[in-house]
Every structure is written in structure tokens, then in C-alpha cells.
Structure 1
Amino acid sequence: MKSIIKYKKARSQYIISILSVITVSLLCLLVRDIIEYKVVGYLLLVTVSLLAIFLEIKPVLVGAILSALVLDYLFIKPYYTLHIDNAGDAFLLIMFFIIALINAVLTNKFRRMQRAIHIIETRASTMKLYNTLLDSLSHELRTPIAAILGSIDTLQQKDVHLSSETQQKLHSEIETASMKLNYQVENLLNMSRLESGYIQPKLDWCDVKETIYNVCNRLTEETKDHKITYTIDDNLPLFKLDTGLMEQIIYNLVYNCAQHTPKGANINIKAQYDVDADYDDHIDLIKKCIIIISDDGYGFPEEEMDRAFDKFYRYKNSKTGGTGLGLSIVKGFVQAQNGTISLKNAEDGGAVFTLEFNADCMPINSLENE
């Protein structure tokens, strides 16, 4: 299969090279009586140079040889013969051919050098990203693992009597550390799914209100020093979204707010239904699910806001850990459902994440009636 594709690609390049030379030659032939053959030679040389930029070396060499033959046959007297009467014309033709070949070879080498440099830069960038990830993971994974091992070691010591309160505290630490480990592993798996293009949303009726409450209940430990307020319409309809992806989106955003705001900060979650009118062909109502998650923390540095959703990126003054995957996963999951996400800083401080999904909706009472 690969050999067939390679053959078709090579054949198309030869065709492009030959047709380009023939086209330029025919156009010049129309005005042969009013331009010198040297001008035609320059035009053909430019044509070969352009071919060398886009095509492989062999099709370009074919174009160079063909252009030299065409120049001799059609534009150097006597016409329609490869015979040349004077030595000057013969020398110019030979120089044209040599320059065309040298130009083709040098341009091809330059392209190869550019590709090699690009590959080296890509590998260096990839290594830098993975080094960043490994550095982050070394901290993010070591801390909960150390907490789990330490708590288990204490619980297993037979010569030390532990009160039920201490045992409960150790079990709680193990549970919390395990949840942090699970969160990091989930993010790594989700990023792998995004990069492989494996994400295929399973759209079904999603109760956004219930999803938000369920996620926040899972984040009780992470948000214990914060206040979460909800602004959700009681009559919010069901939306056709992927519930699993929505849970991960909300989880990562709320977790991010909790990690990057001071104790006592407020996290507000707003969910609403909106309708827009599309007047392109006829009036068509576009139904939207809008979720806004904001906090009253420090917000994002303006100069770094454009990179907030980049993979592995953590803004410079961040005091907390993290792998820099959370927000990039959020963006990937939102786009997988044909949604959009935007970030801005609130006027009175804090970050504001706005999610918008064009999705079918159905009132909850319709489901109850069914």
C-alpha cells in the first residue's frame, strides 16, 4: 500500500514538472518574435527554481533537462532542430543547463537541511516537554505515594498502639493520597487519548446540574478551605452531551480554581440555558448550554493568558504543583463536543472560565412524563 502511494506521488511530481515547463514554453512561444531567447531562458530557469522548492530532486532534474531541450528546439535558431549554428549560443545553452542543474541540487539540499533542522528542533521540543512532565510527576506522584507508604507503615507497626482516631486519620490520608494519584493518572490517560484522536463523544441526555453537584462532592477534600456557590436554574433542561467528558471538564476546572486560589476564596459555578437566532438562510434557533466557573483569587497574568491551555504549561508565579495537563485536557474535551472555552480575568480579580455548547436540549418535565 505504501509503495503504491509513493509511486503515485512520484508520478504526480513528474507530471507537474513536465507540464510546468511545457506551459511556460508555450506561453513564450506565442511571443517568440518579440522577445529574445535569453529572456525565455531566464523564465525557464525561474520555473525550474520554483519546481526545486516544492518537488523532489529527480522530477526537478527532468524539468531542467526538458527546459534546456525546449529552449534549444523552439527558441534558438535554427528553430525546430537541436542544431546550434554559433558557439556563443551553444555556450549559453550549456551554461543554462549547468545553472539549472546546480540550482536544483542546491535547493534540494537546502530543503533537506531545513527538514533535518525541523526534526532536530521537534525532538528537542518534545524532550523538553517530557522532561517538564517527568519533573512535575516526580513531585506530584512522589508526595501522595510517600503519604500512602508512610500511613501504611504506621498502621502495620505491631509494637505501637494507635487510637481509633489516629487510625481513622491515617486511613483518611491514604484515601486522599489515592484520589490525588488517581487524578494524575486520569489526566495522563486522557491526554494520551486526545493525542491519539481516540476521543469519540457518546452524546446522551446529560443532567448538567446533577453532574456539577456530583463532581463537587468528589472534590470535598480539595475544596474544604474554599466556599462553593451555585447559580443554576432549577428548570435547567437536559442537554445532549457526553456525561463522562463533562464530569472531567468540571472536575479539572474546579480543581484548578481550588489549587490556585488562597484559602477562603469563593468558587462560583453558573449553568444556564440560552438561545441564539441564526438568520443565514432562515430563522433557526441555536440552543446553548453555558457553564461559567469563576473564582475571586489572583487571576491569570495577562501576558501568559494565551498559554493557559497549552500542554504542560504552568504560569511562572504559580506556587502550587501540577503537571500542566488539566486545562489542556479541558480544552480538548470541550472541542471534542464541538464546544468552545474562553478565559478572562474578572474586573474585581479572579479567573473566569466560560464554556459554551451548541446542544439539543429537553425539559426535565418531558423526561418525567415519559
Structure 2
Amino acid sequence: MEFYKKINENQPIQYLIGIGTIILVSLFSYLFIDIIGYQVVALILLLAVSILAMFFEILPIVTVAVLSALIWNFFFIQPQYTFKISTPEDALFFLMYFMIAVMNAVFTTKIRKAEAATRKRKERDKTLELYNTMLNSLSHELKTPIAAIIGSVDTLKETEKLSEQNKNDLYTEIEIAGNRLNRQVKNLLNMSRLESDSIHLQLNWYDINELIYGVIQLNKPDSAEHQIIFIPDDDLPLFQLDATLVEQILHNILHNALQYTPPGTTIEFKVSHTSGECIIDILDNGKGFPKNKIDRVFEKFYRLPNSATGGTGLGLSIAQGFARAHNGSIQLKNRSSGGAHFTVRIPAAMTDPKNYQNE
């Protein structure tokens, strides 16, 4: 792809490739002229010009089209090795070839430019749509906690006879709103890191049991109405990975489950491994995802229709981006018994904990 981009931006290279292609095609045709005839040679040369026109700019293609017509006249039309044409039929045939070759070159390049302009317009429209979605999400997601903080602070400042319980409730509300703001700011910063390709893995040896336990503890305030199950496996090896990114992956998936599954839902973590891969399964017994929407779940700013308020649609997209930064992936499917099943696969070196001091 990078090679094609360089060629597309360099007209001298286009001239060299185009002229070289026509010369090679002409030489090949000349070797078999007695079998295929000069009329078929014209079609072969037209095909070569048409293919080149799909990739090159208009001036190199017009040059190649004119060159192909001259080569065809000089080497293939009787009398050979001259630019003379002996019969009116061949003269008409040459004129038609010349016009078709040039027109084909011009129109093909114009169509290609029009298609490129259409693609850019669609990409621009999609970008604007994404930013509009982001602004709409943020306008609600940021305004709500900010209003809660301002309201709580005003109440604390203006009311002198608040009970300790009321004060503690207001402090708790401020803390929840602050954490919500912090989460959204972190999501935006993480998405910015992914889009600017500025993520550099900080690999070290980690106990995946401790990472998962830490993520569960971090989400404990939001899990009062859910049951989270995780049974640590002491026989697991240590994995070499970026703990910060992996924690964020698991946090985003768990937070998504806590936010969008009904109260009473059970969320379970399971860990396994292959010879070169750490595999973490996160399962719940909620409602699952609509089958026709599963492919869109990891898109930026995408939120399922009629989903509960809150969130910007960045969490799962960031999780997938961090997994890919490890050359891994996240797959999502619905469980046959109901609920969602996320599988996080992270390629990682591993070692027995007993050998850690020697690593």
C-alpha cells in the first residue's frame, strides 16, 4: 500500500512504469504476431492502457496511449517499420484505436478522481457524524456530573444545619460525579492516544489474578446490584504485558456490563492460556446484544439503540484498541443460555512464578 502511494505521488515513476509496460506488452505481442494478428495486438495494448489508467495520473496515461498507438502503427500495421498505412481500412482502424486509447485514458482517470472525491466526501461526512455524536454524548455525559457537583457544593455552602448524614451523602454524590468526569476524560485521552498511534507498551511480568482482582475492586462501588465471580487460579504463569492497558481493557468491559445489564446479573471472569497467549473470558447472564449489532459494538461513539442513558460509546472501542496494541483482539458473542461473552486474547510471554527472580 505504501509502495502504491509513493508511485501515485511520483509522475516520473509513472512515466517509466507506463512506457516500460507498453514496450514489454508490444515485445510479447511481436513474438506471437503470426498467431494473433495485428488486430488482436490493438486490443491487448488497449487493455494495458486501461489497466494503467486505473492507477496513474492523466498526463502519463495520455503519453502511454499515444506511444502505444505509434508502436502499433510502426511494428504491426503493414507496411511494417514505417509510419505509413497502406489501406483505408487500416488507416480508419488506426484512427479509431488512437481516439479510443486517448479517450479511455482521459475518462478512466477522470472517473477515478471523481470516485476519490466521493470517498473523501463520505469520509468527511462520517467524521462530522462521529464528532456530532461525540458532542451530543459529551454534552449529556459531562453536564450531568458537573451539575451534580455544583449543586452539592452550593448546598454545602448555603445550608448551615445539615446533618452529618446529609453532608456525607453530598460528599458521596460529589465523589461519584467526579469519578464519572474522570472516567470520560480518561476515555477521550485514551482515544486520542490510539488515533495518534502514540501507544508504547511498557512490558513487565504480572500476575493476571492480581490485575483482575484490582479491576473488580475498582468497580465495587458500581456493582452493589450485580454479582461478580472470579476464582483465582494459582497455577497460572506470570504474563509479560502492559498492565495499565490490560487493566483498562478489563475495566471498560466490566464497567460496560455493570452499566447496561439488569440488576441481579452475574458477571464472571475466567482465565486460561495457550503456549503464547493469555485468554480472559468475561461472561454475563444479561440480555446479550442484538445479533445484527454485534459487529458495531467496538465502533467509536456507537451506542446500542434504546440503551440506558450515560456513556459516550468509547469504552469498548478503546478496549479493542488496547488489545490490538498488544497484537491481540477482543471477540464478542452471545451465550446460548443468554447474556454476552467477551474473549480477550493477549499474546504474551510467560514464566513460572518460581522462575521470576531469574528473569
- Normalised by the length of structure 1, the TM-score is 0.89
- Which stretch shows the higher mean deviation, 347-356 or 118-127? 347-356
Structure 1 counterpart of 2:284: 295
Offset of 1:95 from its aligned partner?
Answer: 2.8
8 Å contact from structure 1 (residues 342, 353) kept in 2: yes
Structure 2 counterpart of 1:261: 261
Structure 2 counterpart of 1:281: none
8 Å contact from structure 2 (residues 265, 285) kept in 1: yes
Alignment of 1:210-229 (within 5 A): 210-229=210-229
Alpha-carbon distance in 2 for matches of 1:288, 1:74:
62
Alpha-carbon distance in 2 for matches of 1:235, 1:291:
15
What amino acid maps onto 2:102 in structure 1?
L
Structure 1 counterpart of 2:3: none
Are positions 1:364 and 2:353 aligned together? yes
Alpha-carbon distance in 1 for matches of 2:237, 2:42:
72
What amino acid maps onto 1:92 in structure 2?
F
8 Å contact from structure 1 (residues 259, 320) kept in 2: no
Are positions 1:237 and 2:237 aligned together? yes
Alignment of 1:146-295 (within 5 A): 146-157=147-158, 160-272=160-272, 274-275=273-274, 286-295=275-284
Any stretches of 5+ residues in structure 1 without a counterpart? Answer: 276-285
Distance 1:366 1:99, change over 3 A: closer
Distance 1:88 1:356, change over 3 A: closer
RMSD: 2.2
Offset of 1:64 from its aligned partner?
Answer: 1.0
Structure 1 counterpart of 2:95: 94
Distance 1:128 1:73, change over 3 A: same
> Deviations 1:104-153 (Å, cap 9, x if unpaired)?
11111111110111111111111111111111111111111111111111
Query: Match for 1:310 among 280, 293, 299?
Result: 299
- Normalised by the length of structure 2, the TM-score is 0.92
Structure 2 counterpart of 1:136: 137
8 Å contact from structure 1 (residues 176, 221) kept in 2: no
> Deviations 1:285-335 (Å, cap 9, x if unpaired)?
x14422221212111112212222222222224223321111111111112
Alpha-carbon distance in 1 for matches of 2:19, 2:254:
61
3-state secondary structure, aligned to 1:292: strand
Distance 1:83 1:290, change over 3 A: closer
Structure 2 counterpart of 1:123: 124
8 Å contact from structure 2 (residues 8, 14) kept in 1: no
Structure 1 counterpart of 2:317: 328
Alignment of 1:9-24 (within 5 A): 9-24=10-25
8 Å contact from structure 1 (residues 312, 324) kept in 2: yes
Offset of 1:172 from its aligned partner?
Answer: 1.0
8 Å contact from structure 1 (residues 235, 364) kept in 2: no
Distance 1:26 1:334, change over 3 A: same
Q: Which 4+ runs in 1 deviate beyond 4 A?
A: 5-8, 365-370
Distance 1:234 1:71, change over 3 A: closer
3-state secondary structure, aligned to 2:85: coil
8 Å contact from structure 1 (residues 270, 291) kept in 2: yes
8 Å contact from structure 1 (residues 260, 320) kept in 2: no
> Deviations 1:75-102 (Å, cap 9, x if unpaired)?
1222111223344433332332122111
Offset of 1:45 from its aligned partner?
Answer: 2.0
Alpha-carbon distance in 2 for matches of 1:196, 1:333:
13
Offset of 1:366 from its aligned partner?
Answer: 4.2
What amino acid maps onto 2:12 in structure 1?
R
> Deviations 1:175-196 (Å, cap 9, x if unpaired)?
1111111111111111111111
Distance 1:303 1:166, change over 3 A: same
Structure 2 counterpart of 1:46: 47
Any stretches of 5+ residues in structure 2 without a counterpart? Answer: 1-5
Once the two structures are aligned, what percentage of the paired residues are identical?
48
Offset of 1:28 from its aligned partner?
Answer: 2.2
> Deviations 1:35-81 (Å, cap 9, x if unpaired)?
44333223222222222112111111111111111122111222111
3-state secondary structure, aligned to 1:213: helix
